[in-house]
């Protein structure tokens, strides 16, 4: 397909002033729009409209107990929605705009649909590092609810093509193409509630080491997954099964990959840093997140490569994860969730 033909596809528009006007008109009328950010593409709706936010849940087939991230254009807009203490302000100063979502106490008069917060009394806020999206929010003068633009439980989208392929034009009339997402991994989610420790709820684009540098005198806790996460998640993306391709995902070590006799033509393999396959391996497809062992490159490639392997129709995708430090922690978190059992309706998020 030529580049010109690409932008003649119904419901797909290059990021531009004209696209911003079209997106604003659709959002004002309660429609959904696929928008680029530096992390992954978001499925955006007017966060103040119950009807618009309900369309997100319907489009994604998302459980209504799973809260949504609300995107703002500035800390000033954030202050109209949530209580921000000194610790939260320090994190905002360090990482906004950027890949940090803060779970904060919601103000009683915050003009946001209750569907956004799932009745938790807290609100998840992020200021994206994408000038197009921030300008759109400024022009609308309302925050945008925007979870990842994928059917619930499936791989997060890192290109406009991913979004356009996932939803019909009748459901998502417009997807704005801002190119491939430079980070390619969802935001880090941190709870910052007065009177309680700062808690890392979901690893992501901002590493725990970076968070700690921003709050040198604060002991940052890491949330440990528990049964309550499956019933009343404190933040988006905390359900055990999430970010999954259609094929089963199995995590193995590089050593296990060498000795795994069961990998055959019905399977695919995703490696890291050039992990070697046995010489007689007959895997249908094989990709490497980063042959050079670069965690930033691996994060950017994670969802797109899982999606590419999944298109080959394997029964199982065997994955050799990166080491668990820095961005590797977030990559491993996504892979664990992709590999989790999917045996009931609560596995979709």
CATH number at residue 220: 3.90.870.10
pTM: 0.79
Angle made by CA atoms 329, 332, 337, in degrees to the nearest 5 = 130
263 and 199 housed in the same domain: no
Lowest-confidence pick of 21-25, 138-142, 266-270: 266-270
Single out the residue in 197, 231, 265 at which a domain terminates: 231
Instruction: Please check whether residues 170 and 280 belong to one and the same domain.
Output: no
Contact 78, 84 (CB under 8 A): yes
In the chain, count of helices (H) and strands (E)? 13, 15
Host domain of residue 8 = 3-231
Where do we find the tokens 């440990």? 224
Instruction: Kindly state whether residues 113 and 261 are assigned to the same domain.
Output: no
Report how many domains make up the chain.
2
1 pLDDT band (50/70/90 cuts)? very low
Same domain, 258 and 211: no
Longest distance between any two alpha carbons in the chain, whole Å: 64
Q: Count CB-CB contacts under 10 A for residue 277.
A: 17
Enumerate residues 6+ apart whose C-beta is below 8 A from 128.
37, 38, 39, 42, 71, 97, 98, 134
Q: Based on the domain organization, do 207 and 176 belong to the same domain?
A: yes
Dihedral of the CA atoms 150, 74, 328, 104 (nearest 10)?
-90
Statement: residue 223 has pLDDT above 90: no
Judgement on whether residues 311 and 217 belong to the same structural domain of the protein: no
Of 198, 231, 264, the position where a domain reaches its end is 231
Q: Which two tokens stand for residue 174?
A: 């417009």
Q: Give a yes or no: residue 48 inside a domain.
A: yes
My answer on whether 222 and 298 are in the same domain is no
Q: Is residue 243 part of a domain?
A: no
Same domain, 34 and 122: yes
Please identify, among 203, 231, 259, the residue that sits at the C-terminal boundary of a domain: 231
- Do 224 and 258 fall into the same domain? no
pLDDT number for residue 115: 83
How much of the chain exceeds pLDDT 70, in percent? Answer: 86
Look at residues 304, 300, 264 and name the one whose alpha carbon lies nearest to residue 285. Answer: 264
Residue 187 to residue 192: CA distance in whole angstroms: 15
CB atoms within 10 A of CB 28: 14
pLDDT more than 90, % of the chain: 59
Alpha-carbon span 261 to 248, nearest angstrom: 17
State whether 106 and 15 are in the same domain: yes
**Are 204 and 264 within one domain?**
no
Rounded Cα gap, residues 304 and 160, in angstroms: 12
pLDDT of residue 292: 93
């Amino acid at each position: 397909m030529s580049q010109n033909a690409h932008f003649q596809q119904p419901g797909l528009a290059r990021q531009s002033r004209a696209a911003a006007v079209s997106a604003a008109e659709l959002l004002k009328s309660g429609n959904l729009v696929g928008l680029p950010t530096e992390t992954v593409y978001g499925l955006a709706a007017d966060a103040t409209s119950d009807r618009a936010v309900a369309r997100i849940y319907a489009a994604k087939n998302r459980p209504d107990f799973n809260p949504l991230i609300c995107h703002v254009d500035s800390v000033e807009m954030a202050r109209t929605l949530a209580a921000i203490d000194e610790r939260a302000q320090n994190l905002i100063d360090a990482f906004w705009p950027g890949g940090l979502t803060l779970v904060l106490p919601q103000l009683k008069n915050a003009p946001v649909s209750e569907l956004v917060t799932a009745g938790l009394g807290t609100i998840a806020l992020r200021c994206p590092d994408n000038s197009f999206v921030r300008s759109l929010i400024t022009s609308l003068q309302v925050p945008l609810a925007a979870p990842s633009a994928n059917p619930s439980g499936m791989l997060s989208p890192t290109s406009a093509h991913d979004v356009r392929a996932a939803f019909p034009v009748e459901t998502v009339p417009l997807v704005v193409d801002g190119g491939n997402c430079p980070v390619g991994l969802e935001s880090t989610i941190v709870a910052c509630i007065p009177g309680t420790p700062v808690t890392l709820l979901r690893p992501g684009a901002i590493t725990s080491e970076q968070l700690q540098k921003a709050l040198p005198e604060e002991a940052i806790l890491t949330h440990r997954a528990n049964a309550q996460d499956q019933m009343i998640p404190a933040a988006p993306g905390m359900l055990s099964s999430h970010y999954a391709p259609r094929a089963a995902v199995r995590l193995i070590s590089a050593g296990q990959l060498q000795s795994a006799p069961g990998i055959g033509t019905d399977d695919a393999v995703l490696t890291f840093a050039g992990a070697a396959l046995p010489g007689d391996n007959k895997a249908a497809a094989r990709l490497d997140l980063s042959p050079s062992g670069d965690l930033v490159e691996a994060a950017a490639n994670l969802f797109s490569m899982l999606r590419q392997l999944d298109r080959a129709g394997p029964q199982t995708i065997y994955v050799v994860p990166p080491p668990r430090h820095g961005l590797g922690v977030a990559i491993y978190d996504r892979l664990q969730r992709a590999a989790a059992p999917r045996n009931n309706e609560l596995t979709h998020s």
